[in-house]
């Protein structure tokens, strides 16, 4: 996980923040960006991430959900809840497309 966290840090701006939130979960903070801009950043990061070999012969993937302060919510618990729910919806849609 440490290598992944370092990789994420190298792919965001200096003013952005990435932190390990749980076992295999990370939380990003993008000050000054709106929802659409964050979506574009995460799409770019995702496209680069899936081509990276963290362990020889193994590719990794990730899903993400976005919640914007204060548009979506003004407290951290609600923002995390919204982002988590949106991430799981994306995962579900992705799984349906792969079937």
SS3 85: helix
Whether 43 and 50 have beta carbons less than 8 Å apart is answered as no
CATH code for the domain of 29: 3.30.70.270
Q: pTM for the complete prediction?
A: 0.87
- Report the alpha-carbon distance of residue 71 to residue 19 in Å, rounded: 22
Q: How many domains does the chain have?
A: 1
Measured at the CA of 33, the angle between CA 53 and CA 3, to 5 degrees, comes to: 20
Look at residue 23 in the predicted model and tell me its pLDDT: 84
**Total residues belonging to the chain:** 99
pLDDT in tens, 4-63: 999 999 999 999 999 998 888 999 999 999 999 999 999 999 999 999 988 888 889 999
> Which residue range is the domain that position 30 belongs to?
2-98
Q: Is the pLDDT of residue 99 over 80?
A: no
């Amino acid at each position: 996980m440490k290598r992944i966290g370092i990789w994420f840090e190298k792919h965001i701006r200096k003013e952005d923040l990435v932190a390990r939130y749980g076992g295999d979960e990370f939380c990003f903070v993008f000050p000054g960006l709106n929802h659409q801009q964050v979506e574009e950043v995460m799409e770019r990061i995702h496209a680069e991430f899936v081509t990276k070999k963290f362990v020889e012969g193994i590719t990794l993937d990730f899903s993400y959900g976005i919640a914007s302060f204060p548009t979506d919510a003004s407290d951290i618990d609600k923002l995390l809840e919204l982002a988590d729910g949106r991430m799981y919806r994306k995962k579900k849609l992705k799984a349906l497309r792969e079937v």
